[in-house]
Amino acid sequence: MLFTKTKPIEEVLESLGNEKKIFLLACDGCAEACGTGGKDGLAQMKDEMEKAGKSVAGTCLVDFLCNKVLVTTRLSREMEQIQQADSIVVLTCGIGVQAVSKVVSKVVHPADDTVSLGGMQGLWPSDERCNACGQCVLDYTGGICPITMCAKSLLNGPCGGAKDGKCEVDPEKDCGWQLIYERLEKLGRLENLKKAYSPRDHSKMLPSEDVRKTSFYDLEK
């Protein structure tokens, strides 16, 4: 699930420039759940556009804008209106914007910003986070991720900045390494703290060719 926030309308209008006829497209998936898309988002954006003196060439709601087959099917009925418009304003996450851009040859303006949730979640969106670093050390850290739970992503943590078990960045945020320490103590594995971790291999963040060939990376491959 991707988390979106509505862009300030001034930002969207600035991006539209002198464009007059705007087609509005919204996602009924994650964006609807976030209150940035869906039927309501579409209606609100229509108001804003008309208030700004634009004319709305048409509106369309699609269940999942990240699904290009679905987008192609649904938009085929609106193609005439879309072609007549100057551009499309899309209420969706960054994935949706890119997917729509591939399917229609029209300028696409994002109405939403996709906001960091601090890493990927599982299919059950709880508070576990993964940054897909490719060098998992969870066995040494009691199952608590130092990359996502430490603000500095330290491997040889903690730093000297934690106060009362809270991170120097935010007194409401737990120090990741405090959590790791407490868990290791509970597991009787405090000796793991002595592990001298080598520096991270950041080149692993660029998906390699063999990964890019898989359908995990690209369903259409």
Partner 1 sequence: MKLIERFEQGKCVVTCEVGPPKGIEIEKVIEELVPLQSRVDAFNVTDLQSSVLRVGSMATCRLLKEKSLEPIMQLTCRDRNRLGLQSDVLSAAVLGIENLLCLTGDHTTLGDHPQAMPVFDLDSVQLLSAVTALMNGKDMAGNDLEGRPPQFCLGAVVNPGADPIEPQIVKMEKKIAAGAQFIQTQAVYEVDKFAAFMKKVKHLNVPIMAGIVFLKSPGMAKFMNANVAGIHVPDEIIDELTASGKEKRVEKSLEISARLIKELKDLCQGIHIMSLGWERHIAAVLEMAGL
Binding residues for partner 1, per CB under 8 A? 151-164, 168-169, 177-178, 181, 190, 193-194, 196-200, 202
Of 122 and 171, the one with the shorter C-beta distance to partner 1 is 171
Cβ burial 186-216 (10 Å sphere, 16+ → b, else e): eeeeeebbeeeeeeeeeeeeeeeeeeeeeee
Of 37 and 176, the one with the shorter C-beta distance to partner 1 is 176
Work out how close the CB of 190 gets to partner 1 at its nearest, in angstroms, rounded to a whole number.
Answer: 7
Place of tokens 């103590």: 185
DSSP assigned state of 120: B
Work out how close the CB of 163 gets to partner 1 at its nearest, in angstroms, rounded to a whole number.
Answer: 4
Work out how close the CB of 134 gets to partner 1 at its nearest, in angstroms, rounded to a whole number.
Answer: 15
Q: Among residues 9, 61, 55, 58, which one has the least CA distance to residue 40? A: 61
**DSSP assignment of 146-208, as one string?**
HHHHSTT--SS---S--BTTEETTEEEEEPHHHHHHHHHHHHT-GGGGG--PPPP-GGGGS--
Of 127 and 164, the one with the shorter C-beta distance to partner 1 is 164
Structure tokens at 121: 């979640």
Work out how close the CB of 44 gets to partner 1 at its nearest, in angstroms, rounded to a whole number.
Answer: 29
| Those residues with Cβ within 8 angstroms of residue 5's Cβ, 6 or more apart along the chain or in another chain | 34, 36, 112, 113, 115
Of 84 and 156, the one with the shorter C-beta distance to partner 1 is 156
Q: What are phi and psi of 148, to 5 degrees?
A: -95, -25
Of 58 and 119, the one with the shorter C-beta distance to partner 1 is 119
Of 42 and 155, the one with the shorter C-beta distance to partner 1 is 155
3-state secondary structure of 61: strand
Work out how close the CB of 114 gets to partner 1 at its nearest, in angstroms, rounded to a whole number.
Answer: 18
Work out how close the CB of 131 gets to partner 1 at its nearest, in angstroms, rounded to a whole number.
Answer: 13
